[in-house]
Structure 1
Amino acid sequence: MEVSPENPAENQLGAGVKEEDLLKAVAASGYPLQAVAVDLIASNLFSDQSVLEVQEEWSYIDEDTGEFRNLDAYISRQFDHIGRGHIRPHLTMLVECKKSELPFVFFLRQAPCGDFPRLIGMPHQQLGLRFPGDATANGTGPITIGMHLSHVLGLSEVPFSLEPPRAIAMSKAVRKSGSIELTGEETFRGIALPLMKAFKHFSRVCQPKPEHCYYDVRAVFPVAVVRAPMIGVQVIEGEPKMTALPWVRVVRVEPSTERFRSGYAELYAMDVVHEAYLEAYTKKVHAACQEIFRRMELISIPLITGIAVLGEGEAGSLQAPYESLRAHLTDDEFNAWMREKLRATHG
Structure 2
Amino acid sequence: MDATPNNPIQNNLPQGIKEADLLEAIKKSGYPLQTRVAKKLSDRFNLHEEWSFKDRDSGTLRALDIFANMPLVDYSAPQPRTSPHLSILLECKQSELPFIFFETEHPARLTGFPPIAGLKSHSIEIATNEDRSVYIFSILTALGLSNHDFITRPPFSNTFSKCGRRGSSLELSGEDAYNSVVMPLIKAATHYEISEYPKPTYRYFQAKLTLPVAVLSAPMVITRSDGETQFTPWVRVTRHEYDGDNYDRNKSRFWAIDVVHEDYLSTYLDEHALPFAREFAEKVLKHDEELASCEGFTEQLDGDVFRIGVSALKPRPISKKVFGAFRNFIEKLAHNSINIK
Same fold (TM over 0.5): yes
SS in 1 for 2:259: strand
| Alpha-carbon distance between aligned partners in 2 of 1:162 and 1:120, rounded to the nearest angstrom | 21
Letter matched to residue 112 of structure 1? A
Per-residue CA deviation, residues 258-302 of structure 1 (Å, 9 max, x unaligned), is 8954xx642111000011101101112111100111122222211
SS in 1 for 2:189: helix
Q: Say which of 192, 197, 200 aligns to 1:210.
A: 200
Partner of 1:88: 83
SS in 2 for 1:39: helix
| Alpha-carbon distance between aligned partners in 1 of 2:298 and 2:46, rounded to the nearest angstrom | 38
Per-residue CA deviation, residues 212-236 of structure 1 (Å, 9 max, x unaligned), is 1121221111111001111111112
Question: 2:98 matched to 1:103?
Answer: yes
What is the deviation of 1:86? 2.3
The 1:309/1:19 distance shift into structure 2, 3 A limit, reads same
Structure 2 matches for 1:133-282, cutoff 5 A? Answer: 135-136=130-131, 143-236=133-226, 240-256=227-243, 261=250, 265-282=252-269
Letter matched to residue 268 of structure 1? W
Letter matched to residue 206 of structure 1? E
Question: 2:67 matched to 1:74?
Answer: yes
RMSD: 2.3
User: Could you list the runs of 5+ residues in structure 1 that have no partner in the other structure?
Assistant: 47-51, 137-141, 331-347
Letter matched to residue 273 of structure 1? V
The 1:59/1:315 distance shift into structure 2, 3 A limit, reads closer
Q: Say which of 34, 57, 60 aligns to 2:53.
A: 60
Q: Contact conserved, 1:298 with 1:323, CA < 8 A, in 2? A: no
Partner of 1:291: 279
| Alpha-carbon distance between aligned partners in 2 of 1:188 and 1:87, rounded to the nearest angstrom | 35
| Alpha-carbon distance between aligned partners in 2 of 1:328 and 1:129, rounded to the nearest angstrom | 8
SS in 2 for 1:188: helix
User: Could you list the runs of 5+ residues in structure 2 that have no partner in the other structure?
Assistant: 319-341
Aligned length: 309
Q: Contact conserved, 2:82 with 2:206, CA < 8 A, in 1? A: yes
The 1:28/1:124 distance shift into structure 2, 3 A limit, reads closer
Q: Contact conserved, 1:76 with 1:93, CA < 8 A, in 2? A: yes
Q: Contact conserved, 2:145 with 2:309, CA < 8 A, in 1? A: no
The 1:323/1:294 distance shift into structure 2, 3 A limit, reads farther
Letter matched to residue 86 of structure 1? R
Structure 2 matches for 1:308-319, cutoff 5 A? Answer: 308-311=296-299, 314-316=300-302, 318=305, 319=307
The 1:193/1:113 distance shift into structure 2, 3 A limit, reads farther
Q: Contact conserved, 1:126 with 1:148, CA < 8 A, in 2? A: yes
The 1:131/1:84 distance shift into structure 2, 3 A limit, reads farther
Question: 2:122 matched to 1:128?
Answer: no
Q: Contact conserved, 2:84 with 2:284, CA < 8 A, in 1? A: no
Q: TM-score, normalised by structure 2?
A: 0.84
Letter matched to residue 117 of structure 1? P
Letter matched to residue 16 of structure 1? G
Question: 2:112 matched to 1:112?
Answer: no
What is the deviation of 1:81? 5.4
Partner of 1:305: 293
| Identity %, equivalent residues | 31
The 1:65/1:12 distance shift into structure 2, 3 A limit, reads same
What is the deviation of 1:117? 1.2
Partner of 2:7: 7
The 1:100/1:169 distance shift into structure 2, 3 A limit, reads same
Q: Contact conserved, 2:99 with 2:218, CA < 8 A, in 1? A: yes
The 1:209/1:81 distance shift into structure 2, 3 A limit, reads farther
What is the deviation of 1:160? 0.7
What is the deviation of 1:329? 7.0
Per-residue CA deviation, residues 141-162 of structure 1 (Å, 9 max, x unaligned), is x553333323212232221111
214-223 vs 9-18, which moves further: 9-18
SS in 1 for 2:146: helix
